[in-house]
Chain A
Amino acid sequence: MASLITCPHCGSRPKEEFSIRGDALPQRPAAHAPDEAWHAYVYLRDNVKGVIFEHWHHVGGCRRYLVVERDNVSHDVLSVTDAARFRRAAASGQDGVVAAGKDLA
Protein backbone atom coordinates (compact mmCIF):
# COMPACT_ATOMS: atom_id res chain seq x y z
CA MET A 1 0.00 0.00 0.00
CA ALA A 2 2.24 2.51 1.13
CA SER A 3 4.71 2.05 -1.67
CA LEU A 4 2.25 1.67 -4.52
CA ILE A 5 -1.44 2.49 -4.88
CA THR A 6 -3.54 1.21 -7.72
CA CYS A 7 -5.55 4.27 -8.68
CA PRO A 8 -8.83 3.28 -10.35
CA HIS A 9 -8.19 5.99 -12.92
CA CYS A 10 -4.43 5.88 -13.44
CA GLY A 11 -3.26 2.39 -12.50
CA SER A 12 -0.47 1.40 -10.14
CA ARG A 13 1.31 4.54 -9.02
CA PRO A 14 4.02 5.27 -6.43
CA LYS A 15 3.23 6.78 -3.06
CA GLU A 16 5.06 9.96 -3.96
CA GLU A 17 2.19 10.97 -6.24
CA PHE A 18 -0.34 11.02 -3.42
CA SER A 19 -1.16 13.26 -0.55
CA ILE A 20 -2.86 11.57 2.36
CA ARG A 21 -5.71 13.31 4.07
CA GLY A 22 -6.86 10.92 6.77
CA ASP A 23 -9.84 8.86 7.89
CA ALA A 24 -12.43 8.55 5.13
CA LEU A 25 -15.31 7.33 7.26
CA PRO A 26 -16.43 10.37 9.28
CA GLN A 27 -19.26 12.01 7.43
CA ARG A 28 -19.88 15.72 7.59
CA PRO A 29 -22.95 16.25 9.78
CA ALA A 30 -25.96 18.27 8.76
CA ALA A 31 -25.65 21.95 9.55
CA HIS A 32 -28.16 21.63 12.38
CA ALA A 33 -26.72 18.46 13.92
CA PRO A 34 -25.88 18.64 17.63
CA ASP A 35 -22.57 20.06 18.84
CA GLU A 36 -21.39 16.58 19.82
CA ALA A 37 -21.79 15.37 16.24
CA TRP A 38 -19.73 18.26 14.90
CA HIS A 39 -17.06 17.83 17.51
CA ALA A 40 -16.85 14.13 16.75
CA TYR A 41 -16.68 14.74 13.01
CA VAL A 42 -13.88 17.24 13.17
CA TYR A 43 -11.86 15.91 16.09
CA LEU A 44 -12.53 12.32 17.07
CA ARG A 45 -11.23 9.26 15.25
CA ASP A 46 -11.75 5.54 15.69
CA ASN A 47 -8.11 5.07 14.80
CA VAL A 48 -8.50 1.32 14.78
CA LYS A 49 -5.54 -0.97 14.55
CA GLY A 50 -6.43 -3.09 11.55
CA VAL A 51 -8.49 -2.36 8.48
CA ILE A 52 -9.10 1.31 7.86
CA PHE A 53 -10.49 3.54 5.12
CA GLU A 54 -8.34 6.51 4.31
CA HIS A 55 -8.47 9.38 1.83
CA TRP A 56 -5.56 9.49 -0.59
CA HIS A 57 -5.53 12.44 -2.99
CA HIS A 58 -3.90 11.67 -6.30
CA VAL A 59 -2.31 15.10 -6.62
CA GLY A 60 0.36 13.91 -8.99
CA GLY A 61 -2.18 12.23 -11.26
CA CYS A 62 -5.91 12.51 -11.80
CA ARG A 63 -6.44 14.75 -8.75
CA ARG A 64 -9.20 12.47 -7.52
CA TYR A 65 -9.66 11.64 -3.88
CA LEU A 66 -9.52 7.89 -3.44
CA VAL A 67 -10.72 5.81 -0.55
CA VAL A 68 -7.99 3.32 0.19
CA GLU A 69 -9.04 0.35 2.27
CA ARG A 70 -5.94 -0.84 4.00
CA ASP A 71 -4.60 -2.84 6.88
CA ASN A 72 -2.51 -0.42 8.89
CA VAL A 73 -0.46 -3.17 10.51
CA SER A 74 0.45 -5.30 7.50
CA HIS A 75 0.11 -2.33 5.11
CA ASP A 76 -1.83 -4.53 2.69
CA VAL A 77 -4.21 -2.63 0.43
CA LEU A 78 -7.60 -4.28 0.18
CA SER A 79 -9.42 -1.93 -2.17
CA VAL A 80 -9.17 1.47 -3.81
CA THR A 81 -12.32 3.37 -4.76
CA ASP A 82 -12.96 6.83 -6.13
CA ALA A 83 -14.12 8.87 -3.15
CA ALA A 84 -17.20 10.31 -4.82
CA ARG A 85 -18.28 6.87 -5.94
CA PHE A 86 -17.58 5.52 -2.47
CA ARG A 87 -19.69 8.24 -0.94
CA ARG A 88 -22.58 7.75 -3.32
CA ALA A 89 -22.48 4.00 -2.98
CA ALA A 90 -22.41 4.27 0.77
CA ALA A 91 -25.31 6.67 0.73
CA SER A 92 -27.39 4.36 -1.42
CA GLY A 93 -26.35 1.26 0.50
CA GLN A 94 -24.78 -0.46 -2.49
CA ASP A 95 -22.43 -3.36 -2.08
CA GLY A 96 -19.01 -2.55 -3.43
CA VAL A 97 -18.27 -0.38 -0.47
CA VAL A 98 -19.54 -3.01 1.87
CA ALA A 99 -17.64 -2.84 5.09
CA ALA A 100 -17.61 0.92 5.20
CA GLY A 101 -21.32 1.15 4.54
CA LYS A 102 -22.32 0.27 8.04
CA ASP A 103 -20.34 3.14 9.45
CA LEU A 104 -21.65 5.54 6.89
CA ALA A 105 -25.28 4.58 7.12
Chain B
Amino acid sequence: MRYSALDIVRQAFSGNRHWKPVWREPQPKAHYDVIIVGGGGHGLSTAYYLAKEFGITNIAVLEKGYIGSGNVGRNTTIIRSNYLLEGNEPFYEFSMKLWEGLEQDFNYNAMVSQRGVINLFHSDGQRDAYARRGNAMMMHGVDAQLLDREEVRKMMPYLNFDHARFPVLGGLLQKRGGTARHDAVAWGYARGADQRGVDLIQHCEVTGIRRDEAGRVLGVETSKGFIGCNKLALATAGHTSVTGQMAGLRLPIETHVLQAFVSEGLKPVIHNVITYGAGHFYISQSDKGGLVFGADIDYYSSYAQRGNLATVEHTIEEGVSLIPGLSRVKVLRAWGGVMDMSMDGSPIIDRTPIDNLYLNCGWCYGGFKATPASGFCFAHLIAKDEPHYTARFLRLDRFERGLAIDEGGKGPQPNLH
Protein backbone atom coordinates (compact mmCIF):
# COMPACT_ATOMS: atom_id res chain seq x y z
CA MET B 1 0.00 0.00 0.00
CA ARG B 2 1.49 3.25 -1.13
CA TYR B 3 0.73 6.24 1.09
CA SER B 4 -0.76 9.27 -0.58
CA ALA B 5 -2.63 12.38 0.44
CA LEU B 6 -5.79 10.84 -0.96
CA ASP B 7 -5.33 7.77 1.24
CA ILE B 8 -5.14 9.84 4.37
CA VAL B 9 -8.43 11.54 3.55
CA ARG B 10 -10.17 8.35 2.49
CA GLN B 11 -9.05 6.54 5.63
CA ALA B 12 -10.00 9.43 7.87
CA PHE B 13 -13.55 9.26 6.64
CA SER B 14 -13.75 5.56 7.25
CA GLY B 15 -12.47 5.73 10.81
CA ASN B 16 -8.94 4.66 9.90
CA ARG B 17 -10.23 1.12 9.85
CA HIS B 18 -8.69 0.02 6.60
CA TRP B 19 -5.01 0.65 7.03
CA LYS B 20 -3.07 -2.47 6.15
CA PRO B 21 -0.21 -4.02 8.16
CA VAL B 22 3.04 -2.27 7.30
CA TRP B 23 4.82 -5.60 6.99
CA ARG B 24 3.97 -9.27 6.91
CA GLU B 25 4.88 -11.64 9.69
CA PRO B 26 6.21 -14.57 7.67
CA GLN B 27 7.52 -17.91 8.82
CA PRO B 28 11.11 -18.49 7.74
CA LYS B 29 11.70 -20.44 4.54
CA ALA B 30 14.24 -23.23 4.48
CA HIS B 31 16.73 -21.30 2.40
CA TYR B 32 17.44 -17.77 1.23
CA ASP B 33 19.90 -16.21 -1.15
CA VAL B 34 20.92 -13.81 1.57
CA ILE B 35 20.32 -13.87 5.28
CA ILE B 36 20.91 -10.65 7.13
CA VAL B 37 21.34 -11.03 10.86
CA GLY B 38 20.04 -7.97 12.68
CA GLY B 39 16.79 -6.12 12.05
CA GLY B 40 18.10 -2.75 13.09
CA GLY B 41 18.60 0.23 10.84
CA HIS B 42 21.59 -1.16 8.99
CA GLY B 43 20.19 -4.65 8.50
CA LEU B 44 16.88 -3.28 7.24
CA SER B 45 18.45 -0.73 4.92
CA THR B 46 20.74 -3.44 3.57
CA ALA B 47 17.74 -5.61 2.77
CA TYR B 48 15.91 -2.66 1.24
CA TYR B 49 18.75 -1.67 -1.08
CA LEU B 50 19.57 -5.28 -1.99
CA ALA B 51 15.99 -5.66 -3.14
CA LYS B 52 15.57 -2.25 -4.69
CA GLU B 53 18.95 -1.52 -6.21
CA PHE B 54 20.54 -4.90 -6.74
CA GLY B 55 17.55 -7.07 -7.59
CA ILE B 56 18.07 -9.64 -4.86
CA THR B 57 14.78 -10.26 -3.10
CA ASN B 58 15.06 -13.78 -1.70
CA ILE B 59 16.25 -12.36 1.60
CA ALA B 60 15.50 -12.91 5.25
CA VAL B 61 16.26 -10.39 7.97
CA LEU B 62 16.52 -12.20 11.28
CA GLU B 63 15.88 -10.12 14.37
CA LYS B 64 16.07 -11.53 17.87
CA GLY B 65 13.77 -8.84 19.25
CA TYR B 66 11.43 -6.59 17.33
CA ILE B 67 12.19 -4.59 14.20
CA GLY B 68 14.27 -1.58 15.13
CA SER B 69 14.91 -2.72 18.69
CA GLY B 70 18.60 -1.96 18.59
CA ASN B 71 20.37 1.33 18.36
CA VAL B 72 18.20 2.66 15.55
CA GLY B 73 15.48 3.04 18.15
CA ARG B 74 17.82 4.30 20.81
CA ASN B 75 19.95 7.22 19.66
CA THR B 76 20.06 11.01 19.41
CA THR B 77 18.84 11.01 15.77
CA ILE B 78 21.62 13.21 14.37
CA ILE B 79 22.52 13.09 10.70
CA ARG B 80 25.56 14.88 9.32
CA SER B 81 28.47 14.47 6.93
CA ASN B 82 31.09 16.68 8.54
CA TYR B 83 34.06 14.36 8.57
CA LEU B 84 37.73 15.04 8.07
CA LEU B 85 39.30 11.98 6.53
CA GLU B 86 39.22 10.60 3.04
CA GLY B 87 38.13 7.24 4.41
CA ASN B 88 35.01 8.74 5.94
CA GLU B 89 33.84 11.95 4.30
CA PRO B 90 32.72 10.59 0.92
CA PHE B 91 30.91 7.74 2.64
CA TYR B 92 28.99 9.96 5.03
CA GLU B 93 28.19 12.43 2.28
CA PHE B 94 26.79 9.56 0.24
CA SER B 95 24.65 8.80 3.24
CA MET B 96 23.53 12.42 3.47
CA LYS B 97 22.50 12.39 -0.18
CA LEU B 98 20.45 9.28 0.45
CA TRP B 99 18.85 10.95 3.48
CA GLU B 100 17.89 13.88 1.32
CA GLY B 101 15.88 11.68 -1.01
CA LEU B 102 14.85 9.05 1.49
CA GLU B 103 11.21 9.88 2.09
CA GLN B 104 10.32 10.07 -1.56
CA ASP B 105 12.36 6.94 -2.15
CA PHE B 106 10.66 4.74 0.42
CA ASN B 107 7.35 6.61 0.67
CA TYR B 108 7.48 7.03 4.41
CA ASN B 109 7.98 10.23 6.32
CA ALA B 110 11.13 9.77 8.36
CA MET B 111 11.05 13.47 9.19
CA VAL B 112 14.48 14.22 7.84
CA SER B 113 15.05 17.73 9.02
CA GLN B 114 18.13 19.60 7.85
CA ARG B 115 18.20 22.06 10.67
CA GLY B 116 21.96 22.49 10.69
CA VAL B 117 24.65 20.87 12.81
CA ILE B 118 27.15 23.14 14.51
CA ASN B 119 30.35 22.07 16.21
CA LEU B 120 31.43 24.80 18.59
CA PHE B 121 35.07 25.63 19.13
CA HIS B 122 36.62 27.14 22.21
CA SER B 123 40.27 27.68 21.36
CA ASP B 124 42.39 28.73 18.43
CA GLY B 125 43.74 25.23 18.08
CA GLN B 126 40.26 23.83 17.89
CA ARG B 127 39.30 26.48 15.34
CA ASP B 128 42.23 25.42 13.18
CA ALA B 129 41.25 21.77 13.47
CA TYR B 130 37.66 22.59 12.48
CA ALA B 131 38.88 24.77 9.62
CA ARG B 132 40.87 21.81 8.41
CA ARG B 133 37.78 19.65 8.65
CA GLY B 134 35.56 22.24 6.98
CA ASN B 135 37.96 22.57 4.09
CA ALA B 136 38.13 18.77 3.82
CA MET B 137 34.34 18.76 3.51
CA MET B 138 34.40 21.48 0.87
CA MET B 139 37.13 19.63 -0.99
CA HIS B 140 34.50 16.91 -1.43
CA GLY B 141 31.85 19.43 -2.41
CA VAL B 142 30.07 19.36 0.95
CA ASP B 143 28.69 22.50 2.52
CA ALA B 144 30.56 23.95 5.48
CA GLN B 145 30.69 27.33 7.16
CA LEU B 146 33.07 28.64 9.79
CA LEU B 147 31.20 31.00 12.07
CA ASP B 148 32.77 33.44 14.45
CA ARG B 149 31.56 34.10 17.95
CA GLU B 150 29.12 36.83 16.98
CA GLU B 151 27.61 34.80 14.18
CA VAL B 152 27.09 31.93 16.59
CA ARG B 153 25.60 34.29 19.14
CA LYS B 154 23.11 35.52 16.58
CA MET B 155 21.99 31.97 15.84
CA MET B 156 22.06 30.69 19.43
CA PRO B 157 21.85 33.58 21.85
CA TYR B 158 21.11 31.19 24.72
CA LEU B 159 24.60 29.65 24.72
CA ASN B 160 26.87 30.65 27.55
CA PHE B 161 28.86 33.53 26.07
CA ASP B 162 29.45 35.69 29.10
CA HIS B 163 30.15 33.40 32.04
CA ALA B 164 31.57 30.32 30.45
CA ARG B 165 34.44 28.28 31.73
CA PHE B 166 35.31 27.64 28.09
CA PRO B 167 34.06 30.59 26.08
CA VAL B 168 32.52 29.88 22.69
CA LEU B 169 34.78 31.31 19.99
CA GLY B 170 32.85 30.11 16.98
CA GLY B 171 31.66 27.03 15.24
CA LEU B 172 31.77 24.84 12.16
CA LEU B 173 28.30 24.67 10.68
CA GLN B 174 26.94 22.14 8.26
CA LYS B 175 23.53 23.42 7.27
CA ARG B 176 22.55 20.20 5.57
CA GLY B 177 23.07 18.27 8.78
CA GLY B 178 20.15 17.74 11.08
CA THR B 179 17.97 15.01 12.51
CA ALA B 180 15.61 12.26 11.42
CA ARG B 181 12.90 10.42 13.31
CA HIS B 182 14.79 7.28 14.25
CA ASP B 183 11.97 4.74 14.56
CA ALA B 184 10.47 5.88 11.30
CA VAL B 185 13.76 5.19 9.55
CA ALA B 186 13.63 1.59 10.68
CA TRP B 187 9.96 1.25 9.85
CA GLY B 188 10.31 2.89 6.46
CA TYR B 189 13.12 0.56 5.42
CA ALA B 190 11.30 -2.43 6.89
CA ARG B 191 8.12 -1.60 5.01
CA GLY B 192 10.02 -0.96 1.80
CA ALA B 193 11.91 -4.23 2.09
CA ASP B 194 8.78 -6.18 2.95
CA GLN B 195 6.96 -4.75 -0.04
CA ARG B 196 9.77 -6.03 -2.23
CA GLY B 197 9.47 -9.53 -0.87
CA VAL B 198 12.01 -9.54 1.92
CA ASP B 199 11.01 -11.74 4.86
CA LEU B 200 11.36 -9.82 8.12
CA ILE B 201 11.45 -12.43 10.83
CA GLN B 202 11.14 -11.03 14.31
CA HIS B 203 11.82 -12.85 17.56
CA CYS B 204 14.24 -15.11 15.74
CA GLU B 205 17.56 -15.30 17.54
CA VAL B 206 20.60 -16.62 15.74
CA THR B 207 22.38 -19.08 17.99
CA GLY B 208 25.01 -20.47 15.66
CA ILE B 209 26.53 -20.34 12.21
CA ARG B 210 26.69 -23.66 10.37
CA ARG B 211 29.65 -24.13 8.05
CA ASP B 212 30.76 -26.95 5.78
CA GLU B 213 34.11 -28.67 5.93
CA ALA B 214 35.67 -26.13 3.67
CA GLY B 215 34.58 -23.44 6.08
CA ARG B 216 31.83 -21.99 3.88
CA VAL B 217 28.74 -20.78 5.63
CA LEU B 218 25.70 -22.97 5.01
CA GLY B 219 23.21 -21.11 7.14
CA VAL B 220 22.31 -20.22 10.67
CA GLU B 221 20.91 -22.05 13.65
CA THR B 222 18.12 -19.99 15.13
CA SER B 223 15.44 -20.10 17.76
CA LYS B 224 13.13 -20.99 14.87
CA GLY B 225 15.38 -23.75 13.55
CA PHE B 226 18.07 -23.95 10.91
CA ILE B 227 17.79 -21.56 7.98
CA GLY B 228 20.09 -21.99 5.00
CA CYS B 229 21.59 -19.29 2.84
CA ASN B 230 24.07 -18.62 0.08
CA LYS B 231 25.42 -15.51 1.72
CA LEU B 232 25.32 -14.48 5.34
CA ALA B 233 25.54 -10.85 6.33
CA LEU B 234 26.05 -9.70 9.90
CA ALA B 235 24.63 -6.32 10.85
CA THR B 236 24.57 -6.76 14.60
CA ALA B 237 26.48 -3.74 15.86
CA GLY B 238 26.73 -3.85 19.63
CA HIS B 239 26.86 -7.63 19.48
CA THR B 240 29.19 -8.09 16.52
CA SER B 241 31.80 -9.89 18.58
CA VAL B 242 29.15 -12.32 19.78
CA THR B 243 27.85 -13.16 16.32
CA GLY B 244 31.35 -13.03 14.86
CA GLN B 245 32.48 -15.54 17.45
CA MET B 246 29.92 -17.98 16.02
CA ALA B 247 32.07 -18.06 12.90
CA GLY B 248 35.33 -18.00 14.83
CA LEU B 249 36.08 -14.35 14.09
CA ARG B 250 37.97 -12.24 16.59
CA LEU B 251 37.39 -8.60 15.77
CA PRO B 252 38.87 -5.15 16.41
CA ILE B 253 35.89 -4.19 18.54
CA GLU B 254 34.93 -3.62 22.14
CA THR B 255 31.30 -3.24 23.23
CA HIS B 256 30.42 -0.19 25.27
CA VAL B 257 27.28 1.46 26.53
CA LEU B 258 26.32 4.97 25.48
CA GLN B 259 23.56 6.75 27.28
CA ALA B 260 21.21 9.23 25.73
CA PHE B 261 18.57 11.44 27.24
CA VAL B 262 15.39 13.30 26.55
CA SER B 263 13.87 16.18 28.46
CA GLU B 264 10.24 16.97 29.02
CA GLY B 265 8.51 18.55 26.06
CA LEU B 266 9.12 22.25 25.55
CA LYS B 267 7.98 24.83 23.06
CA PRO B 268 10.61 25.25 20.29
CA VAL B 269 13.78 26.68 21.78
CA ILE B 270 16.74 24.92 20.20
CA HIS B 271 16.56 24.99 16.46
CA ASN B 272 19.84 23.38 15.46
CA VAL B 273 21.92 20.43 16.46
CA ILE B 274 24.65 21.76 18.73
CA THR B 275 27.87 20.05 19.70
CA TYR B 276 29.94 21.39 22.58
CA GLY B 277 33.63 21.46 21.77
CA ALA B 278 35.07 21.90 25.25
CA GLY B 279 33.55 18.69 26.44
CA HIS B 280 31.48 16.17 24.63
CA PHE B 281 27.82 17.08 24.58
CA TYR B 282 25.34 17.25 21.74
CA ILE B 283 21.75 18.38 21.78
CA SER B 284 18.80 19.00 19.51
CA GLN B 285 15.07 19.38 19.97
CA SER B 286 12.66 16.87 18.54
CA ASP B 287 9.49 17.82 16.72
CA LYS B 288 7.61 16.71 19.83
CA GLY B 289 9.51 19.29 21.86
CA GLY B 290 11.81 17.06 23.88
CA LEU B 291 15.46 18.02 24.06
CA VAL B 292 17.41 15.01 22.90
CA PHE B 293 21.00 14.91 24.07
CA GLY B 294 24.00 12.80 24.97
CA ALA B 295 27.69 12.86 25.68
CA ASP B 296 30.37 10.27 26.34
CA ILE B 297 30.12 6.52 26.69
CA ASP B 298 30.34 5.09 30.19
CA TYR B 299 33.88 3.94 29.25
CA TYR B 300 33.69 0.38 30.59
CA SER B 301 32.87 -2.69 28.52
CA SER B 302 29.16 -3.38 28.77
CA TYR B 303 26.46 -5.34 27.03
CA ALA B 304 23.81 -3.92 29.38
CA GLN B 305 21.54 -1.36 27.78
CA ARG B 306 21.77 0.97 30.74
CA GLY B 307 24.41 3.20 32.21
CA ASN B 308 25.42 4.73 35.48
CA LEU B 309 24.78 7.92 37.34
CA ALA B 310 28.30 9.33 37.08
CA THR B 311 27.95 9.59 33.31
CA VAL B 312 24.48 11.07 33.64
CA GLU B 313 25.82 13.80 35.88
CA HIS B 314 28.80 14.45 33.67
CA THR B 315 26.58 14.80 30.62
CA ILE B 316 24.25 17.22 32.29
CA GLU B 317 27.08 19.27 33.77
CA GLU B 318 28.33 19.80 30.23
CA GLY B 319 24.84 20.71 29.09
CA VAL B 320 24.31 23.33 31.75
CA SER B 321 27.76 24.80 31.30
CA LEU B 322 27.02 25.26 27.59
CA ILE B 323 23.36 26.27 27.89
CA PRO B 324 22.72 27.77 31.33
CA GLY B 325 19.00 28.14 30.61
CA LEU B 326 18.59 24.38 30.75
CA SER B 327 19.02 24.47 34.50
CA ARG B 328 15.31 24.61 35.26
CA VAL B 329 14.32 22.20 32.52
CA LYS B 330 13.77 18.62 33.63
CA VAL B 331 15.27 15.47 32.22
CA LEU B 332 12.63 12.90 31.55
CA ARG B 333 14.36 9.71 30.59
CA ALA B 334 17.80 8.19 30.14
CA TRP B 335 18.48 5.12 28.11
CA GLY B 336 21.50 3.13 27.08
CA GLY B 337 22.53 1.46 23.87
CA VAL B 338 25.44 -0.89 23.38
CA MET B 339 27.75 -0.21 20.55
CA ASP B 340 30.71 -1.57 18.70
CA MET B 341 33.61 0.68 19.56
CA SER B 342 36.20 -0.01 16.89
CA MET B 343 39.93 0.43 17.20
CA ASP B 344 40.07 3.60 15.13
CA GLY B 345 36.58 4.94 15.63
CA SER B 346 35.54 4.12 12.07
CA PRO B 347 33.25 1.36 10.84
CA ILE B 348 33.89 -1.81 8.89
CA ILE B 349 31.92 -2.89 5.83
CA ASP B 350 33.81 -5.79 4.35
CA ARG B 351 34.04 -9.40 3.45
CA THR B 352 35.59 -11.65 6.03
CA PRO B 353 38.21 -14.39 5.69
CA ILE B 354 35.19 -16.69 5.29
CA ASP B 355 34.19 -16.08 1.71
CA ASN B 356 30.40 -16.00 1.95
CA LEU B 357 30.29 -14.22 5.29
CA TYR B 358 29.95 -10.43 5.18
CA LEU B 359 30.46 -7.98 7.98
CA ASN B 360 28.97 -4.59 8.82
CA CYS B 361 30.10 -3.35 12.21
CA GLY B 362 32.19 -0.95 14.27
CA TRP B 363 29.84 2.01 14.12
CA CYS B 364 30.87 3.47 17.47
CA TYR B 365 28.57 6.40 18.31
CA GLY B 366 27.87 7.18 14.71
CA GLY B 367 25.77 4.45 13.21
CA PHE B 368 22.46 6.25 12.88
CA LYS B 369 23.56 8.87 10.39
CA ALA B 370 25.22 6.16 8.34
CA THR B 371 22.09 4.01 8.08
CA PRO B 372 21.31 4.70 4.39
CA ALA B 373 24.87 4.50 3.05
CA SER B 374 25.75 1.60 5.27
CA GLY B 375 22.85 -0.38 3.87
CA PHE B 376 23.56 0.68 0.32
CA CYS B 377 27.27 -0.09 0.50
CA PHE B 378 26.75 -3.36 2.33
CA ALA B 379 24.16 -4.38 -0.26
CA HIS B 380 26.65 -3.47 -2.99
CA LEU B 381 29.31 -5.58 -1.35
CA ILE B 382 27.00 -8.56 -0.89
CA ALA B 383 25.61 -8.35 -4.40
CA LYS B 384 28.81 -7.64 -6.28
CA ASP B 385 31.51 -8.95 -3.97
CA GLU B 386 33.37 -5.72 -4.21
CA PRO B 387 33.19 -2.64 -2.03
CA HIS B 388 31.16 0.37 -3.00
CA TYR B 389 33.47 3.22 -4.02
CA THR B 390 32.64 5.34 -1.01
CA ALA B 391 33.24 2.46 1.41
CA ARG B 392 36.48 1.26 -0.13
CA PHE B 393 38.56 2.29 2.87
CA LEU B 394 36.30 0.75 5.49
CA ARG B 395 38.12 -2.56 5.38
CA LEU B 396 38.76 -5.15 8.00
CA ASP B 397 42.44 -5.49 7.13
CA ARG B 398 43.20 -1.80 7.48
CA PHE B 399 44.55 -2.30 10.99
CA GLU B 400 47.09 -4.90 9.93
CA ARG B 401 48.13 -2.73 7.05
CA GLY B 402 48.54 0.47 9.06
CA LEU B 403 45.66 2.21 7.31
CA ALA B 404 43.54 3.09 10.32
CA ILE B 405 40.92 5.82 9.77
CA ASP B 406 41.34 7.67 13.02
CA GLU B 407 39.19 10.83 12.96
CA GLY B 408 39.94 11.56 16.59
CA GLY B 409 43.62 10.69 16.48
CA LYS B 410 43.16 8.63 19.61
CA GLY B 411 44.87 5.40 18.61
CA PRO B 412 43.89 1.81 19.26
CA GLN B 413 41.95 2.26 22.47
CA PRO B 414 38.29 1.82 21.60
CA ASN B 415 36.72 3.71 24.47
CA LEU B 416 38.54 6.90 23.44
CA HIS B 417 36.83 7.12 20.06
Contact = CB atoms under 8 A, between A and B. Distances in A.
Interface string B386-417: 00000000000001100000000000111100
Interface string A27-49: 00000000100011011111111
The binding surface of chain A is classed by DSSP as: mixed
Nearest to A45: B254
Given A21-B413, A22-B413, A47-B251, A74 B304 contact: yes
Contact of A39 (B242, B255, B400, B414): B400
Contacts of B308: 2-3, 15
Interface in B227-254: 239, 241-242, 245, 250-254
Interface string A1-39: 111000000000011100111110000000000010001
Given A39-B399, A42-B412, A43-B343, A22 B304 contact: no
A47 B400 contact: no
A45 B250 contact: yes
A15 to B, nearest CB: 5
Given A2-B298, A39-B400, A47 B310 contact: no
Q: Interface size class for chain B? A: 20 to 34
A44 B255 CA distance: 12
A52 interface: yes
Contacts of B413: 21-22
Interface string B291-326: 000000011111110011110000000000000000
B301 A72 contact: yes
Contacts of A21: 413
Contact of A3 (B239, B309, B343, B399): B309
Contact of B300 (A40, A54, A73): A54
B64 to A, nearest CB: 13
Contacts of B343: 42-43
B239 A49 contact: yes
Contacts of B245: 48
B408 to A, nearest CB: 16
B242 A49 contact: yes
A56 B399 CA distance: 25
The 10 closest A-B CB pairs, nearest first, are A47-B241, A20-B299, A43-B399, A43-B252, A15-B310, A49-B303, A2-B308, A44-B250, A72-B301, A20-B300
5 contacts: A3-B309, A19-B299, A45-B252, A49-B242, A75-B304
